[in-house]
């Protein structure tokens, strides 16, 4: 079955227009014909539906998304099979955080506080849900910001159950290089603190109004630099951010996972203390205003687009993509 506007999945969901696509799946705006409400549908691409690894990963994503229930996690509403698996998600009217980062404008402190607290709450629920889930892909593109001033965590395509911890094979690293914790790049066993690193990088960029790491087209060079270089303290590039809040964000970016907050609940507690000391009041109206500003010029409906992230952004790095003359072990020991 070829997906196209007007097609109906599961005798219930009418595809309206494509929101974007990646290497494995396409996301559609759709209408639930039973409720007449708008939903988002994630659908495995026709070209990879016969691949067992792709299908297994997608069903894992369905299981995670349908079982984690939290107001700051994009809700999985339904799923089904119709020429291939599909996942129905709640429709979030707004933008992803990448839309704000790409404008090179920092969010207000009130809006940033809302995003930080909402995502800490979301991760606390995700990590603590039953056996617990590790998201493994925290980045601005997977943080949805709604026009009513909410932040929601989305996209569990790379998630893993915490009950089955294991090291990533040393020759394979999957994710967005700018948001991967050092222990992930080194192929080591990692836990919830790796997700806190991705959250810290996302908050750093939103509060600084710029990318944490300069764009590097060569993923191997970027991976090596990422492991060797200390992170720039937030206060150096955004002196407007008060010291206690900046310090919490910087802690999330510690090279040593033991120096980061112990878990998402500890991070939320640290954020609350910092906001109180810095006299910052979380303000959903400020976040809503930022989202409206970012979306006011967007056409409706948005035209279909294929999302092509650069290899430096979202990659599977084989042996950290280093030349054969450099051993992966040498990179793993760097830093």
Q: Which residues are catalytic?
A: 137
Whole-angstrom Cα Rg for the chain = 20
Closest CA to 13 of 63, 27, 24, 22: 27
H-run or E-run covering 44: strand 37-44
Alpha carbon distance 121, 186 (integer Å): 28
Distance in angstroms (rounded) separating the CA atoms of residues 206 and 99: 10
Which candidate, 216, 134, 120, 142, places its Cα nearest to that of 183?
Answer: 134
| CA–CA separation, 21 and 306 (whole Å) | 5
Nearest CA among 250, 265, 195, 322 for reference residue 183? 195
Distance CA 314, CA 118 (A): 25
């Amino acid at each position: 079955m070829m997906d196209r506007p007007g097609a109906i999945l599961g005798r219930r969901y009418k595809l309206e227009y494509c929101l974007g696509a990646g290497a494995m799946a396409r996301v559609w705006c759709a209408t639930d014909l039973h409720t007449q409400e708008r939903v988002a549908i994630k659908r495995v691409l026709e070209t990879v539906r016969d691949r067992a690894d792709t299908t297994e990963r997608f069903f894992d994503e369905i299981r995670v998304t349908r079982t984690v229930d939290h107001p700051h996690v994009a809700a999985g509403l339904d799923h089904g099979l119709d020429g291939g698996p599909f996942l129905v998600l709640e429709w979030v009217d707004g933008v992803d955080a990448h839309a704000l980062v790409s404008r090179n404008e920092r969010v207000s402190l009130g809006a940033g506080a809302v995003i930080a607290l909402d995502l800490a709450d979301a991760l606390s629920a995700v990590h603590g849900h039953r056996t617990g889930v590790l998201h493994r892909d925290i980045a601005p593109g997977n943080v949805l910001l709604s026009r009513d001033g909410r932040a929601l965590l989305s996209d569990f395509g790379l998630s893993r159950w915490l009950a089955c911890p294991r090291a990533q094979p040393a020759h394979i690293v999957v994710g967005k290089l700018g948001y991967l914790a050092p222990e992930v790049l080194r192929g080591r066993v990692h836990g919830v603190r790796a997700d806190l690193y991705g959250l810290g990088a996302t908050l750093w960029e939103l509060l600084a109004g710029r990318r944490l790491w300069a764009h590097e087209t060569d993923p191997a060079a970027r991976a090596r630099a990422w492991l060797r270089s200390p992170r720039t303290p937030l206060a150096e590039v955004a002196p407007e951010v008060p010291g206690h809040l900046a310090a919490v964000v910087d802690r999330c970016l510690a090279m040593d996972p033991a120096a980061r907050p112990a878990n998402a609940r500890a991070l939320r507690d640290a954020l609350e203390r910092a906001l109180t000391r810095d006299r910052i009041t979380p303000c959903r109206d400020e976040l809503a205003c930022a989202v409206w500003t970012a979306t006011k010029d967007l056409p409706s409906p948005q035209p279909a687009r294929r999302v092509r992230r650069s290899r430096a952004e979202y990659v599977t790095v084989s042996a950290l993509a280093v030349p054969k003359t450099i051993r992966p072990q040498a990179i793993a020991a760097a830093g």
